[in-house]
Structure 1
């Protein structure tokens, strides 16, 4: 997809490429000119250096003749070596215009060195007059070298006069070339900018027209923009939105028709519900009846039957309360003990219940009807299937900043895959069987605990086949969000 970003990058790349080409051309011509300038300057510097060295050689020779010493002779030898090196470098400056003059120039350097050597030789032979004569000859040769240097530099200036004029002309041509390149780049940029603006403004105009039509309620107009960038993607998305809105309007119309049809059914249903409510037993009448039966059994001397009826009444009354309101762990444990009393009346010695409770931990808040469904599962799956019954251990204790509630049985245990499903709330263990049941499944307990406390690891299950199952609740001591 040719995105708008790619188009902008293409424009930048073209501009950058043209700028690089211009920079390379200008740099090449500049380096060529600079190299020629440096070459001419080196010729002047070498000639001028030869004059300076010849004068220093004569000065060193005079110092030695005046005061012979190791220091003055070393200085003289150093200047002679420099003169020899300068002569070799000047030999490289020979061309067609200065061949004859440069040959005489190098011969004068040789004559200077020769006169210097002869002056030293006569001085060693104690012939001071001859040594002075050779020194004067060396001085004259040094002056000739200076004059010849000026002559050579003058010829160099005349030789390269045409080169200087060519550089001036070349600079003028480069200036014209710069204006031509600037005009060419400007035309290219204008053309590309025009094409780029058209590729963006035309689709946007079509999209604007389609939006206006949609605002007028025309949802049957297809939006088609033949481009290959983000605007085309936006147009396709806009068209899908148009289709979805059109389908939604049709669906709303269908639902409105269905709603009118259902309204009549609701009237009939309400009438049926009223009749059903009239046939239901009043809970207060039920509690009063159970209370009367309990007192009658007590008066007749059936103490155990009276207690059992009271426990059933309390259990039913607790189940009918608002389950959205939190209760204390103390309330849940009292309900649990009443449920155990009912089950003991059913299973007698087959049900063994052990409690290990820290009384200081019973004030923590917990959702209503949390413990009884878990105990009920233990009764159904651990006590009821076995002829010998089973043992259920109920523990409450504090561990760090958590209140731990454990319900452990010695049943056949649960397979590990089933445990994982129960903890992850992907499978439900139904609380059903013979006897009294609340109708609240284990999965319901898991969901309510996690919603109530706001974190996932509030419950855990440890089970080993043939050994038993332990359900562990980790309750916070202080609840962050108070339930009303």
Structure 2
């Protein structure tokens, strides 16, 4: 049974209990007055019956004395039995006020019965005179009983006159008490019903207000119901739903904001990178100039210089063309060869470059300008500042569902703090040097391209070189 049902049943039981109490009280007082009235009436009836029975006994005795047959004798016995019963009832009527009068009354009854017995006893023995004398005595006693009865009834009327009036007054008081009690109980029931209805309607009203607030989009107001029934459970569930919706909306707003910031970051990144490169040089003028110098060098017999200028021109053209889009690992490896050719011309024997490339991995897509900035970083920090130069290893391996690219050098290495700063995008290792595309920039672009954080890993120790490992998914083909 639910709590609300229990409350309703409790209200019904209270009403029934009050009604039953009123009914029992009225019945009790009514029965009490009725018993008092019946008791007084019974006293009058019994005394009156004593008079009638005594007169009947004298009449039956007279019949028997004139006609002594068995039927008349049986009537005398029956009258005597009735008189005995009436005498016992009269004895029960005794109280402090009428004890003496009732004692005399009972003695008269005994005297009557003795006179009747003597009259019967004398008749068979042919003592007619004694029988008649005894009969007259019985007749006189019967008359005394009649007079005594009237006297007792009169006394009883005077004695119980106050009782009659008390019963009437008590009846009127009970009537007035019943009216006031009914008014009081009605008031209490109204108050209890009002309080009871508030215990049900107040939580429902709060729940309705909360639903109205939610319908208006206000999810910050807590739903509070202090009852201990199904409405309180419903309110808790409703509040839990409100919190979930509010959290969901906040989460959606946060995701939308993050998405917006991410898009803006990507656009700003591309724009800044393009502007950084394009503002440094005038591509058309530079390409025309480099081609002119290359042809002139070739005509003058400087083929190596001509090849170097062609490599520089192709490298710059690739950088400007592929900065904002994805390309294949094959193209990245080709432009890396041109970059190494240029650096070889610069550092000669100081730069040692080894490659280990799995040709089956070259068709995989990768963000443009990813490999060259990493190798360029190794050249700047592991070859250029060292008098004897340095060695760089470039490896492309098949890793199952991904391609593993490694760039390793034997340079001075870096601290853990600097490595963490690069991974967090807080430092640009080639700022102001080379192509201007730093290692932190490469880390960000690789993460955007692959969609997860562990796409690149840097291992380094001071004095023992640095190793950069890139994991590119084979099935990934989204532009950076």
- Please report the TM-score for the alignment, with normalisation by the length of structure 2: 0.47
- Please report the TM-score for the alignment, with normalisation by the length of structure 1: 0.47
